[in-house]
Amino acid sequence: MKFTKMHGAGNDYVYVNCFEETVIDAPAVSRYVSSRHFGIGSDGLILICPSDVADCRMAMYNEDGSEGEMCGNGIRCVGKYAYDHGLVSKTQITVETKAGIKSLDMKVENGKVISATVDMGEPELTSELPEKIVVAGKELEFTGISVGNPHAVYYVDDVSSLDLERIGPSFENHERFPNRVNSEFVQIIDRGHLKMRVWERGSGETLACGTGTTACAVAGMMRGLTDDEVEVELLGGTLWIRWDRKSNHVFMTGGATEVFHGEIELPEELQA
């Protein structure tokens, strides 16, 4: 199977061009290639597929093989791959996802996409503002936001001091979220600058999460804690989020990087 390794702000996936390749068991392939010791190493697998309703379709699978609705960092890389590898010839494209059709506006330098702005659509409040919750015996507050997939945003004094490997599973698998949840831990530096770490359902802590960054920014905006345009500092880089209240759409801007491409021989039972 031919593949391309790409990342957006350190949120890395294995990308497969399904205009040319066939993947017969995407969840199993995702688990296989995502292993950082026995596979390629990634936060999951993203398939770039033909679409009847958009320029292409993105199918996204987490490290544990579960399918995600959307990936903000991943979709920027889908746009970059599609343009750089000739699947599209325009810089404004649409991508079909399980969370609906998303629009991308890509910035090109020297014939290659270096960044993209994604219309993340309309955010949906899924909790009280805020809602109390008890996790591992400790009472906390979170704000629930959906931008195609579910997020719970928690405000903390210092994101650097969190032991997410230890506490993350308790947040992801809390009974309040029967389908599990992505958990964002946010430190407000000032009204235009946030620091965030994320525990993603199915993948654990990742260096960045585009939908999570969008959720944490919107949560702060809804609660009046930040301006309507913020810079969010993540372990893997920086993303910029803008909420247009008039249209109720949120826009995310960030980079997209191709790391390398190659070919991997899958186990016989996973070969097409």
| Position 272 confidence tier, pLDDT thresholds 50, 70, 90 | confident
Averaged pLDDT for residues 138-158? 95
pLDDT > 80? residue 145: yes
User: Per-residue pLDDT averaged across 49-73, rounded?
Assistant: 96
Residue 189 has pLDDT above 90, yes or no: yes
Q: What is the pTM of this model?
A: 0.92
Residue 180: per-residue pLDDT: 94
The token pair at 13 is 């996936």
The β-bridge partners of 182 are 151
**Which one is catalytic: 18, 49, 77, 209?**
209
pLDDT at 178: 94
Q: What DSSP character marks residue 161? A: G
User: Can you name the residues that pair with 163 across neighbouring β-strands?
Assistant: none
Predicted pLDDT at 18: 98
Question: Catalytic one among 18, 49, 56, 71?
Answer: 71
Percent pLDDT > 90 in the chain is: 96
Res. 65 pLDDT band, cuts 50 70 90? very high
Examine the pLDDT at 208 and tell me if it is beyond 80. yes
pLDDT level of residue 135 (50, 70, 90 thresholds): very high
- CA angle 255/257/263 to nearest 5° reads 155
pLDDT of res. 257: 97
> For residue 124, what pLDDT is reported?
95
Residue 103 is predicted with a pLDDT of 98
Known catalytic residue: 216?
no
- Banded model confidence at residue 78, pLDDT cuts 50, 70, 90: very high
Return the SS3 of 236.
coil
What one-letter code names the amino acid at 140?
L
pLDDT of residue 271: 87
Q: In whole angstroms, what is the distance from residue 151 CA to residue 264 CA?
A: 34
